[in-house]
Amino acid sequence: MNLRVLVCLLFLGLIPLKTFAQQHLDLEKKLLIKTSPLALLDPETFVIQGGIEYFIGPKFSIQSELGINGGVFGIPAGRSKNEDFKLWRSKNELKFHTKNYYWGLELFFVDKDFIRTDDYFFDSNSTTWYNKAHIDFQVLGTGLKFGKQKYISQNLLLDSFLGIGIRSRYRKITMLEISPDQEQEDEYFLSSDRYRINGRDYVPHFTMGIKVGILTMGR
């Protein structure tokens, strides 16, 4: 996405309209059940993600989430070059709520285990093409989030946010079937590069999204 378009979308999503203010949430000592509808649109696999948020006081809350895909239960869940795709991820966050918005400190972990086909990886100064390889991929990261929550009905809240941080990525590539053709033309896809080197690296982390909160007790 064009950077200018992305910045505009982020700005529009956080315009401080009066109806978006969260000073009247009145959620102290209450529990929210959270769902992440955008997780269903993950480009690699169908992910179901949800969690809880508990307000330990008028200004602080803690939030925990878990996301999994069907591959964890043996359901075919791969797309494109990925087969037998298993994914689970967790997020834990401490939030500080101001009059209109909130700040959050987030810690997250992602684990992926799958078979990748018809691709390559870098090893020292050489490139090896394979027909099939096993990918073990983990991400550990942290970030600072900025967002707001508002009631959209009597017991439903909309949580919109954006954030920035850093993530550590580790992957282990185990080749299962080498390709007889080692002179193939590279098909460049930015999202595929994360699976083309062994070992660990560190990259910036950017996030934006929405969550729906269900109030477990009436207002």
* Residue pair 50/89 in contact by the 8 Å Cβ criterion: no
The domain total for the chain is: 1
Q: What is the pTM of this model?
A: 0.81
- Report whether pLDDT(31) > 50: yes
**pLDDT tens for residues 158-213?**
999 999 999 999 999 999 999 888 877 766 655 568 898 899 999 999 999 999 99
- The CATH number linked to 86 is 2.40.160
Q: pLDDT > 90: what percent of the chain?
A: 54
Q: What is the pLDDT of residue 140?
A: 98
Residue 9 domain-assigned?
Answer: no
Residue 178 domain-assigned?
Answer: yes
Residue 12 domain-assigned?
Answer: no
Residue 86 domain-assigned?
Answer: yes
The residue range of the domain holding 179 is 26-215
Contacts with 185 (C-beta within 8 Å, 6 or more apart), sequence order: none
Residue 2 domain-assigned?
Answer: no
Q: What is the pLDDT of residue 191?
A: 59
**pLDDT tens for residues 97-145?**
988 899 999 999 999 999 999 898 888 778 889 999 999 999 999 999 9
